[in-house]
Amino acid sequence: MADTTPTEAFGLPLLPGAPDPGDPSAPGSEEGLQDDVRRVIVARLSGADRAFRALLRSGGIAVFVITGMIGLFLVIRAWSAYRKAGWSFFSTGTWLVGENHFGIASILPNGILIALIALVIAVPCAIVTALFISEYAPALIERKLIAVIDLMAAIPSIVYALWGVFFFQPRALGFARWLADHVGPVFPPFRIVGHEMVIVFSSSPFVAGLVVSLMVIPIIASLCREVFSQAPQGEREAAYALGASRWAMIRAVVLPYGRGGTIGAVMLGFGRAMGETIAVSLIISPVWTFNWHVLQTGGMSIPALIALRYTESTPQMLSALMAAGLVLFAFTLAVNSAAGVIITRTRSGAQTAD
């Protein structure tokens, strides 16, 4: 009996481009399995596809170009201040531009402290809110809650600032005093040093951090909800099939899957808190020393400094403000870059990158 290939035996034509089953190197044969390589599928792009891809590519390039131009602008405008202050700009805590004795040694840590206070309050509230909306909220109210969160994120910061100054701050002083009396003896940042109790608690980093946290919560909650809702449905059902409760499923599936998105949301909220200007400038009382006693009056951040001193600045003072802004720009860029590295090493971040 003559040797025939399966296609010849059944009289079936071989499709164009299909591998010949009789070929020993074809996929499926012993030799073909050894030499199997990953195939590259190339799709023919239409004119609309090329235009859309060019639009996306140009948009991505524009982001890098604009970011670079901002950095270059700040470097040019801040060069005069850096040349006069030198390296002492990063170690000086006072702001006497006319005497060439100015720096950000106290301003930058105060801004970071306010942002950390905001995150300590905002992150738990935002994650709990996102889990409730994505996992527990009935479908009837889920969309309403999403709309409320998005609306809170769209409220102008000046509204939060005025609300914080005239409504929230007087009502937060009692809680701040309670923290100083009961938590301060065991937690040094809550201790009160050398001030009268009447003026000590107003215009403090603690109050500013509380107000800023209300601006950060909607951003973190919205992003976390999006990530949590994309957890694989198959893994959810597998967890339930193994007898897991809803909370056990969330701990085993939703939270590990959404770790990358949560980190990204927190870092975005940190950048939002670091860049907040109006609320901090209206609430906090400017001081030029690092106030790590967060319940006491006084503090400052780089955005608030720029907002308060911009209108009265001479060219030399304006260059100093640009130098401070450049430090904030570089710091925020470094934090976001580090967050991007962390996100890509997590499961949801790697899938998004792919």
Residues 12-32, buried b or exposed e (16+ Cβ, 10 A)? eeeeeeeeeeeeeebeebeee
| Whole-number pLDDT of residue 17 | 52
**117 to 133, 145, 204: CA distances (angstroms):** 25, 25, 11
Residues 147-153: what's their mean pLDDT? 88
Residues 10-26: what's their mean pLDDT? 52
User: What residue spans define the domains of the chain?
Assistant: 1-42, 52-353
| Whole-number pLDDT of residue 19 | 53
Query: Which among 319, 259, 260, 328 has a CA at the least distance from the CA of 109?
Result: 328
DSSP letter (8 states) at residue 129 = H
33: pLDDT strictly greater than 80: no
At 35, is the pLDDT very low, low, confident or very high (cuts 50, 70, 90)? low
| Whole-number pLDDT of residue 20 | 54
Distance separating alpha carbons of residues 295 and 292, to the nearest angstrom = 9
Which residues does residue 27 pair with via DSSP β-bridges, in sequence order? 29
C-alpha atoms less than 13 angstroms from C-alpha of 16 in its C-beta half-sphere: 0
Rounded to 5 degrees, what are φ and ψ at 185?
A: -60, -25
| Whole-number pLDDT of residue 7 | 47
Query: Which among 179, 182, 226 has a CA at the least distance from the CA of 206?
Result: 179
Helices 205-229 & 139-154 angle (0-180, nearest 10): 140
| Whole-number pLDDT of residue 39 | 72
Distance separating alpha carbons of residues 305 and 107, to the nearest angstrom = 8
Class of domain 52-353 (CATH, top level): mainly alpha
- Give the list of residues 6+ apart from residue 10 with CB closer than 8 angstroms, or none: none
Residues 257-274: what's their mean pLDDT? 88
286 Rama sector, left if φ>0, alpha if ψ -120 to 50, beta otherwise? beta
Judged by average pLDDT, the poorest of 206-210, 309-313, 326-330 is 309-313
- Give the list of residues 6+ apart from residue 135 with CB closer than 8 angstroms, or none: 228, 246, 250, 254
